[in-house]
Structure formats: C-alpha cells, structure tokens
Amino acid sequence: MSTLFRPVVLVIALVQALVAASPLSPSPVPRYFQKHPLSRRELSVNDIQLELGPILSNGSTRFGPSDPNFSHATERFNVLAPPSNEVVVVPALATAFAPEANAETMREAIVHLILLPLDQVDEGKPLHDFGVDSTIASEFRSWFWTVFSVDVPFLDIMNPQKSLLVLVEFVEGKVLQGVTK
C-alpha cells in the first residue's frame, strides 16, 4: 500500500470505529443514516428519490419530525457528524409590525409600477386615482405574494374606494394572522 493512502485508510478505520462504538442504539435510526452516517449533502427531491428509493422498501424505517424517534436519530446524527455552520433565520417580514415601514415599502413598489415620483403618491388616495389598470394591479398582486406571501384579491387592488393604507392594513392583518398560527 502506498504511503499516500495509509493516512486515508487509517482515518476511515477510525471513523468506522467511532461509529461502531457510539453509545446510541442504531435501531431507531433510519437505514439511510446507518449506511451514510456522515452524509450532509444538499439533495434535490429527485436525487433523494433516486438515492433513497431502493433503500426505502417495505421493511425500511421511515419517520419524520412528528415521530418520537426523529429527535433520537437527529441527535445521533449531530453527535457523529456535527454541522460546521449555524443557520440563523431572520423573519422575512420584520417590517410587518411597523405600519409605516409597510406603507413606505408598498408605496415604493407602486411607484415603480406606475412610474410616478414618490412624492406624488399619497397612501390615503385610492390606487385607481393613480391610473392603476388591470396589468398594474396584476403585477402589484404578484409583488404582494412574492414579498409578503399574502394573496390580495385582484378586485381589492382595482377597487376605486381602496387606498394603499387599506391594503397595508389588509396585508398586515394577514401577516400577523400567519405569525400567530
């Protein structure tokens, strides 16, 4: 055996010994993790189906986060191959709790769609007064969904009585509803 491969073989043997000597029972761990305990690859759904399909046969152990064995399996996985980075998730809609920030954000979005200067757009005026037609309303509706994940009815945007502030209140209510669920 070449001197180049000796350290690699020793590391593999050491990892196998550590896995075998693990005090945690392998029985509740899914077979995929038993076969690939150090795998932390990003897999697409198709890759997962291709890779796990043969493994997840009728006799396979399968469970998700709601299963009591899930925490045991992930705990064992994190002990054997702890993650090297930490993910901090910041709420995407932090502005949902500040009405003026929402109004300003929506005002800027509508300004880009209707091509008017920012100082000419009053949040209290109906969108209809700014020349919002079905095309612009459709774009604005898509923007609401993309930014806030809120489905604003098309007719509410086109309604001659609805102002930007009314839409802000509607979106804010929907966002807060989603946060409290």
Question: Which tens digit of pLDDT belongs to each residue from 60-79?
Answer: 555 566 667 767 767 766 67
| Domains of the chain, each with CATH number or no CATH | 5-80 (no CATH), 94-180 (1.10.1200.10)
At 147 the pLDDT is 79
The predicted-structure confidence for 113-134, as pLDDT tens digits, reads as follows 888 888 888 888 888 888 888 8
For the chain, the average pLDDT equals 68
Is residue 89 over pLDDT 70? no
Tokens 């007064």 belong to: 129
Phi-psi region at 44: left, alpha or beta (left = phi > 0; alpha = psi -120 to 50)? beta
Phi-psi region at 57: left, alpha or beta (left = phi > 0; alpha = psi -120 to 50)? beta
The predicted-structure confidence for 2-58, as pLDDT tens digits, reads as follows 666 666 666 676 666 655 555 555 444 444 444 454 444 454 555 555 555 555 555
> In DSSP terms, which residues pair with 126 in a beta bridge?
163
At 40 the pLDDT is 46
Question: CA-to-CA distance for 15 and 109, rounded, in angstroms?
Answer: 54
Is residue 146 over pLDDT 70? yes
Report the range of poorest mean pLDDT among 90-94, 152-156, 174-178.
90-94
**Mean of the pLDDT values across residues 143-151?**
83
Higher-scoring residue by pLDDT: 140, 104:
140
